[in-house]
Amino acid sequence: MKTINILIILLLSTAITQGQNAHSLLRQGDKNYKNKEYADAELNYRKALEEDQMNFKGNFNLGNTLYQQEKYKEAIKSFENLESLNISDKEKSEAFHNLGNAYLKAKEYQKAAKAYKKALLHNPSDDDSRYNYVYARKKLQQQQQQQQKQDKNKQNKDKEKQQDQQNKKDQNKKSEKNKKNNKDEQQQQNKEDQQKGQEKNKSKEDQDKNKSRKGEQDKKELSEEQARRMMKALENDQKEMMKKMLKKKEAKAKEIEKDW
């Protein structure tokens, strides 16, 4: 029994010491917070929570200190931890109100509105939470409109990009088609030029042939003329020979008559 009593006394003594240390650290943290020494205040509040994790004031003030340092996501975690504590409606309303403020700064307006609504459930007469709830709803509406506008702009830009890509694609196709048409036209022109060249060469060959034929014809006509002349010359020669022969015959005939 004496051993058990001593153990209980030691546990109570330890708990009292821890409580005194936590209380002392909380007081020092409050002093730092009041002097706007937020980093020192955060350190002391965290040390106090190491001594007593379920301490409402430690969690609540740590959340406020983190909020003042613009560590909104960490502040949100501290305020969310308060929901599981066995605290009064007033303390829960204050916790949800500050949670809404942290969400508001983080621009998570839907969650902020939800936190303010919970604060009002625990304290319906809290005008600050009511005002902030309306404000959060308004900011949420603006955010949604802005998001819709951004989505629409993005869609328009995507459409413009797609249109530009299509125009570029069409332009490339048109360019390729023009190149092909130009190539076909060039090939056709080359074919026509080649055909004209062949026709010109053929015409020249025909002209050369005609000239050759004409020359041969002229040559042939010349040969016929020469032949006629030769024939005429032969006829003349024959006529002369005949004349000579007749003269010889006449002369011979006269000689014979003399012999008689």
In tens, the pLDDT along 219-230 reads 555 577 777 787
**Please, is 247 exposed, middle or buried when counting C-beta atoms within 10 Å of its C-beta (0-12, 13-18, 19+)?**
exposed
Q: Is the pLDDT of residue 2 over 50?
A: no
Tokens standing for 225? 């003329």
**Mean pLDDT over the full length of the chain:** 83
pLDDT band at 5 (very low <50, low <70, confident <90, very high): very low
DSSP calls for 217-237: HHHHHHHHHHHHHHHHHHHHH
- The answer regarding whether domain 11-125 maps to CATH 1.10.630.10 reads no
pLDDT band at 260 (very low <50, low <70, confident <90, very high): very low
pLDDT band at 15 (very low <50, low <70, confident <90, very high): very low
Are 32 and 38 a contacting pair, CB within 8 Å?
yes
pLDDT (0 to 100) of residue 96: 97
Are 63 and 92 a contacting pair, CB within 8 Å?
no
Q: Is the pLDDT of residue 252 over 50?
A: yes
Residue 129: which residues within 8 A CB-CB, separation 6 or more? 93, 96, 97, 100, 116, 119, 120, 123
Instruction: For 171-211, write each residue's pLDDT tens digit.
Output: 888 888 888 888 888 888 888 888 887 877 777 777 777 66
Amino acid at 249: K
- Which CB contacts under 8 angstroms, 24+ apart, belong to 9-12? none
Tokens standing for 65? 């200190």
pTM of the model: 0.58
Instruction: For 95-142, write each residue's pLDDT tens digit.
Output: 999 999 999 999 999 999 999 999 999 999 999 999 999 999 999 999
Distance between CA 189 and CA 192 in Å, rounded? 5
212 φ, ψ to 5°? -65, -45
Amino acid at 42: E
